[in-house]
Amino acid sequence: MKSIGIIPARWGSTRFEGKVLAKLKGKYLLQHVWERARKSKLLGSVLIACDDERIMKAAEEFGAKAVMTSKKHISGTDRIAEAVGPLAVKVVVNIQADEPLVSPKVIDHLVQAIVDDKNCMMATAVKAIETRDELENPNVVKVVIDQNRDALYFSRSVIPFNRDKQKFDDINYYKHLGLYAYRKEFLLKFKDLPKSHLESVEKLEQLRVLESGYKIKTIETNIDTIGVDTPEDLKKVESLL
């Protein structure tokens, strides 16, 4: 089954404009993401979907294949949908442009989940939450899952609610890692679904899928990643690299 990884890379960012071209260990942040994604064994290729000539030029500079997409897109999903539209692929992986520690193994697990299950339209990665700081941080998206490993709900709030004050380690808390794989036909359908109420409240695009009645398969990993939202985050990632 032919698969592709697409990295939606936009210039504008409220907290850190142009962050995808910030330098990290002598390379662009975007370059680190691209290089790690290319280590995936199941992706046939990796494509950068840009919205700015500066990003396009930088991508070509380090040898990546890139395409220009509309500046009007309000989400990465819309951007990758435009980029993948004319391509003859079956599986599409949405790889965040600000996560230089993205794991090629996790990418492969997501692709394999779609390949192995003909009913799986969309899959995403989750990891067990290990600290209370993560659990209580609204920037860390939590997810609860059912017995089939399908997502029941995503939230910035603590879920499930610990009514009886059980020990932290006795409850399965998971965080969402923000890496997605889709069947191409579902991705194109997803982008045309009307924005949902829950999506608007939580500001979480994946809730549109659940509220529309579709399922999202979760793949658990113990490999963490860190998104770069601020210059301070860049320093944290640099120490890990």
The CATH number of the domain where 182 resides is what? 3.90.550.10
Q: Sign of dihedral through CA atoms 58, 64, 65, 70?
A: negative
Domains: count for the chain = 1
Annotate 179-224 with DSSP letters as a single string.
Answer: EEEEEHHHHHHHTTSPPPHHHHHHT-TTHHHHHTT---EEEE-S--
Question: What is the extent of the structural domain holding 59?
Answer: 3-240
pTM reported for the whole predicted model? 0.93
Band (pLDDT 50/70/90 cuts) for residue 189 is: very high
Q: pLDDT tens-digit profile of 9-61?
A: 999 876 778 889 999 889 999 999 999 999 999 999 999 999 999 999 999 99
